[in-house]
Amino acid sequence: MILKRTLAIFFCLSFIPCAHAQKAKPIDKKEIAEWFNKKPDCSEDSRFYFSKLEYFDFIGDGTRQAIVVASDCASGSGGPNVHSVISRDSDGELEELKIAEVDPKTYDTLFGNRNYTLSVENGSLIATFTDDSDRDAPLVIKYKWNGKEFAVASIQKTGVFPTSYDCTQPITEVENAICHVDILARLDVELNDVYKSLLSKVTGPEHEALREEQREWLAARDKSCAIYKGWVSCLSDYYERRIHELKARA
């Protein structure tokens, strides 16, 4: 009996790559970087920068998959372009597990330079999106492994907040962004109240001059705080200065 077991182990090790043994081999940084650098547009010595590397057994077979957030040779200045869960196939080779796509409209709460990270929470894969350093997770997508792919389990996103204008009508990119950021929406409402209060106290040429001044301020706002890096802070400061100015004049 002992002889048979010994021969079986020898046969497995010598002739047939044992799937369990192959899968049990840890997936390390070097192997991941080399695997991604095999892409046609990357060279073997391309830089590969890890922003995050986490491990978890999603499949439930006792091995751990690698959750990778990184920048490869094709990455630009926008942040990490690799967001993957890496496992091993039956031959012990690396493979990327599929993450289900979502409706493009899911991203309508994100503006400018958006990016995201992957993490694990209670056995689920979590994609947390950002588009500005002053916004706290405007979009969070939770995935569960179903045996074939990471299927969408839930989507949490910011809503549309009340502003001085109708967010459902055709509006500028800046106005649309303001609709989806609570602090900016509140500042927009406050400015509108201050502006209308001051407008009600002037007549004739002063009344029309103030209206024209406000139109020019709105145009300058859209130009000065284009939706890119730091746009929330830019708009907050822009609104606060205008509110302070109008209050002083009132």
Q: How many angstroms separate the CA atoms of 228 and 132, rounded?
A: 8
pLDDT value of residue 44: 67
- Residue 139 Cα to chain centre, angstroms: 7
Q: How many angstroms separate the CA atoms of 144 and 86, rounded?
A: 15
Residue 49 CB partners (closer than 8 Å, separation 6+): 70, 71, 75, 80
| pLDDT tens, the chain, 250 aa long | 444 444 444 444 444 445 444 445 889 999 999 999 887 777 767 788 999 999 999 999 889 999 999 998 877 777 899 999 999 998 899 999 999 999 999 999 999 989 999 999 999 999 999 999 999 899 999 999 999 999 999 999 999 999 999 999 999 999 999 999 999 999 999 999 999 999 999 999 999 999 999 999 999 999 999 999 899 999 999 999 999 999 998 7
pLDDT value of residue 77: 72
Q: How many Å is the Cα radius of gyration of the chain?
A: 27
pLDDT value of residue 32: 95
Classify residue 107 by burial, with Cβ atoms within 10 Å: 0-12, 13-18, 19+. Answer: middle
